[in-house]
Amino acid sequence: MTLTRTELVALLKDNGLKPSRALGQNFVVDPNTVRRIARLARVGPGDQVLEIGAGLGSLTLALLETGASVVALEVDRHLIEPLRSVVEPRGATVHHANALEVDLHGMLGGRATVVVANLPYNVATPVVLRLLETEPLVTRMLVMVQKEVGQRLAAQAGDEAYGAASLRVQYFADARVVGKVPPSVFVPRPNVESVLVEVVRRERVRVDPQLVSEEALFAVIRAAFAQRRKMLRRSLAGWASEGVFERSGVDETRRPEELTLEEFAALAAAR
């Protein structure tokens, strides 16, 4: 059983609540949509799920239906009690916490974990990157984000949305857009489209740190994308040493959005 639109609106009214624009709150109110998300998360009995941005529990209930154990995070203190009343009787554990600040490692109890999240625009990329950079127990994520953010997270070299954040994700994981979510399934209805992005952690980072350090690799990436529309010989003028393009085999007339992670690594190694 999940929350219908009528039930969620009633829950808001009964608790004197309104969706917070400042927190980017848009609650999913369509049972078919939350069950679809739970299926795409590929979780079941024996799995641990960390749900970030649980709201009033619509998706939480769908995840519990799979048989997975669910740890639910919610940053809005006003939602905590109604959220607990909905999902804790079904077996979820609710924490009032900010995913960008809380000690997630301790919360996960040493267990491999799948993250499922409905993330507002302003925190989506920082949350995904923090999980990849600091929480090895998180082996996979399914995040619902604004379309433009999802395209950026999953972008490949040559894509319009490709940038430093795309490369940061690629260093740790493989990401792809696995579905769309229409505005009609949310309360309030957003003015943007949403997508579902699957992020699967790699067993090892994509560039061997013994060949080039993470720090050196992302120093050249940051320098290049600071002036992304310029040729590399311009955007990397302050970074490059003499002969670095020849040694790396990377043409200095190319632009940052055309280079793969491996080509940036070749530049960093050749400096």
Closest to 257 (Cα-Cα) out of 131, 118, 163, 122: 163
pLDDT digits (tens, 9 = 90+) for 13-45: 999 988 888 888 899 999 999 999 999 999 999
pLDDT higher than threshold 90 for residue 89? yes
What are the structural domain ranges in the chain?
A: 5-201, 214-270
pLDDT exceeds cutoff 80 at 98: yes
Q: Counting Cβ atoms within 10 Å, is residue 129 exposed (0-12), middle (13-18) or buried (19+)?
A: middle
Distance of CA 266 to the CA centre of its chain: 27
Q: How many CB atoms lie within 10 A of CB 44?
A: 10
Measure Cα distances from 124 to 138, 191, 205 in Å.
16, 17, 21
Do residues 235 and 223 touch, judged by C-beta distance below 8 A? yes
* CATH code linked to domain 5-201: 3.40.50.150
Does the structure show a pLDDT above 80 at 1? no
pLDDT tens-digit series, residues 143-200: 999 999 999 999 999 999 999 999 999 999 999 999 999 999 999 898 899 999 999 9
- pLDDT of residue 58 exceeding 80, the answer is yes
* Topology (CATH level 3) of domain 214-270: Helicase, Ruva Protein; domain 3 (1.10.8)
Low-confidence winner among 4-8, 173-177, 191-195, 248-252 (lowest mean pLDDT): 4-8
- Per-residue pLDDT tens for 207-236? 999 999 999 999 999 999 998 889 999 999
Report the pLDDT value the prediction gives residue 30, as an integer from 0 to 100.
93
Q: Pairing between strand 69-74 and 138-146?
A: unpaired
Indicate the residue type of 13.
Answer: K
The residue that leads in pLDDT, 94 or 1, is 94
Indicate whether 270 pLDDT > 90.
yes
